[in-house]
């Protein structure tokens, strides 16, 4: 038997095993990859590594701030008001009758006692004539009583009359004297009523309204509020009433100079002075009523005009001035965000004063040189850490 033929069967038996190992090698690689993926997933899900996750650090927000500073010692207080005449009145009729003539119209300058119009009142004239006649009769009766009494006294001295008759005649003489006094009073009364037929100006001024025509019936002491004849205004000087806030009231005093500005006179300033003040604050508005007098010799200013009074105040302790965009207005009050030395936020309640539009006064709640956040956002909370940056100023 050939030896080579005896060795062929073992070689043919090893060949299938070799092929089987080659067939399972790709499957083992795939299974190994799957195991690796499973292990990695478990590590990521359950944190099976020894390395702890790093905390996330949020940077502090950057905020702009301004430094709280006090205003200037010289402050200007501007208050609006309406120009009013120094004196103004409506002239009524004191005699009933018809207007026979009016002499002045609106815009006329009149002096005290000048005749404005004349009223034709026949009843007053007739009553005066009757009173004068009654007075003349009373005087005549008094003269007769005096003559009779004197003659009776002569006859009494000669014992031709009794004392009782003389006493009666003396009483009649005194009664006639009383009649004379009563009639004199009636004459004076009717003469004064007749004088009211001439309506005159009670003071010097300008006629600003005429409410009468010739032939119009006027009634003395009329209850009609529109029954007046003229409106007379004294426009030199003019008056201006303003309400000074409580915080500035103590700086207002009599004879204090005031500058007056009107829109119809651009660039021009009128000089005025404080005439008087109420001396007490209004309980409701907490303001001081102040009267300012404005000379109006040239009659440039018209009563009823809107004007602004500028008061130059010298403050001994000026208040702090902040931009208006620093305020945080909430339901619990007005606050500002202050940055402390550790760059932490402190929300401080403040009391505001006058509002100038872009800036506002801080009366209480803030100290000078404190850093105040401008345009505070919702991230600016009490105790929050911030990165402060000085705000740009124009």
Domains and CATH numbers, the chain: 65-71+318-390 (2.40.420.20), 122-196 (1.10.287)
SS (H, E, C) the chain: CCHHHHHHHHHHHHHHHHHHHHHHHHHHHHHHHHHHHHHHHHHHHHCCCCCCCCCCCCCCCEEEEEECEECCCEEEEEEEEEEEEEEEEEECCCCCEEEEEECCCCCCEECCCCEEEEEECHHHHHHHHHHHHHHHHHHHHHHHHHHHHHHHHHHHHCCCCCHHHHHHHHHHHHHHHHHHHHHHHHHHHHHHHHHCCEEECCCCEEEEEECCCCCCEECCCCCCCCCCCEEEEEEEEEEEEEEEEHHHHCCCCCCCEEEEECCCCCCCCEEEEEEEEEEEECCCCCEEEEEEEECCCCCCCCCCCEEEEEEEEECCCCCEEEEHHHEEEECCEEEEEEECCCCEEEEEECEEEEECCCEEEEEECCCCCCEEECCCCCCCCCCCECEEEECCCC
Q: Which residue has the higher pLDDT, 12 or 391?
A: 391
- pLDDT tops 50 at residue 7: no
Average pLDDT value over all residues in the chain: 84
- pLDDT tops 50 at residue 2: no
Strands 62-67 vs 387-390: parallel, antiparallel or unpaired: parallel
Over the stretch 155-188, which tens digit does the pLDDT of each residue have? 878 877 788 888 888 898 899 899 999 999 999 9
Confidence of residue 394 (pLDDT cuts 50, 70, 90): low
- pLDDT tops 90 at residue 193: no
* pLDDT (0 to 100) of residue 310: 95
Q: Which of 90, 91, 86, 87 is CA-nearest to residue 200? A: 91
Percent of the chain whose pLDDT exceeds 90: 39
Mean pLDDT within 134-153: 88
- pLDDT tops 90 at residue 281: yes
Q: Which residue has the higher pLDDT, 19 or 127?
A: 127
Mean pLDDT within 181-209: 90
Residue 333 — φ and ψ, nearest 5°? 125, 180
Mean pLDDT within 289-304: 93
d(CA 338, CA 386): 11
Q: Which letter, b or e, does each residue of 237-257 get, where b requires 16 or more Cβ atoms within 10 Å of its Cβ? A: bbbbebbbeeebbebbeeebe
């Amino acid at each position: 038997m050939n030896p080579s033929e005896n060795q062929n069967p073992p070689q043919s038996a090893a060949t299938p095993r070799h092929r089987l190992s080659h067939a399972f090698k790709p499957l083992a690689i795939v299974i190994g990859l799957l195991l690796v993926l499973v292990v990695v997933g478990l590590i990521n899900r359950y944190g099976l590594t020894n390395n702890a996750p790093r905390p996330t650090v949020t940077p502090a927000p950057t905020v702009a701030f301004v430094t709280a500073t006090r205003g200037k010692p010289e402050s200007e207080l501007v208050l609006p008001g309406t120009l009013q005449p120094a004196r103004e009145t409506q002239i009524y009729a004191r005699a009933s009758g018809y207007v026979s003539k009016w002499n002045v119209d609106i815009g006329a300058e009149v002096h005290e006692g000048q005749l404005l119009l004349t009223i034709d009142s026949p009843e007053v004239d007739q009553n005066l004539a009757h009173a004068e006649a009654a007075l003349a009769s009373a005087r005549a009766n008094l003269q007769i009583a005096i003559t009779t009494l004197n003659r009776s006294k002569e006859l009494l001295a000669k014992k031709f009359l009794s004392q009782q008759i003389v006493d009666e005649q003396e009483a009649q003489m005194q009664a006639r004297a009383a009649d004379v006094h009563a009639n004199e009073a009636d004459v004076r009364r009717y003469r004064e009523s007749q004088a009211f037929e001439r309506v005159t100006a009670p003071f010097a001024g300008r006629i600003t309204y005429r409410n009468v025509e010739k032939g119009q019936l006027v009634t003395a002491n009329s209850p009609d509020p529109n029954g007046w004849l003229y409106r007379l205004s004294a426009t030199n000087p003019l008056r201006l009433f303003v309400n000074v806030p409580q915080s500035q009231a103590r700086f207002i005093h009599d004879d204090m100079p005031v500058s007056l500005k009107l829109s119809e006179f651009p660039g021009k300033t009128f000089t005025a002075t404080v005439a008087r003040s109420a001396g007490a604050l209004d309980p409701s508005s907490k303001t001081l009523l102040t009267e300012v007098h404005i000379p109006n010799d040239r009659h440039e200013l018209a009563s009823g005009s809107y004007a602004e009074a500028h008061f130059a105040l010298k403050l001994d302790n000026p208040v702090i001035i902040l931009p208006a965009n620093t305020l945080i207005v909430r339901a619990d009050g007005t606050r500002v965000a202050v940055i402390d030395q550790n760059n932490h936020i402190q929300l401080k309640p403040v009391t505001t004063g006058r509002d100038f539009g872009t800036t506002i006064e801080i009366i209480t709640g803030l100290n000078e040189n404190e850093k105040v956040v401008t345009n505070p956002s919702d991230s600016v909370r009490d105790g929050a850490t911030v990165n402060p940056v000085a705000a740009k100023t124009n």
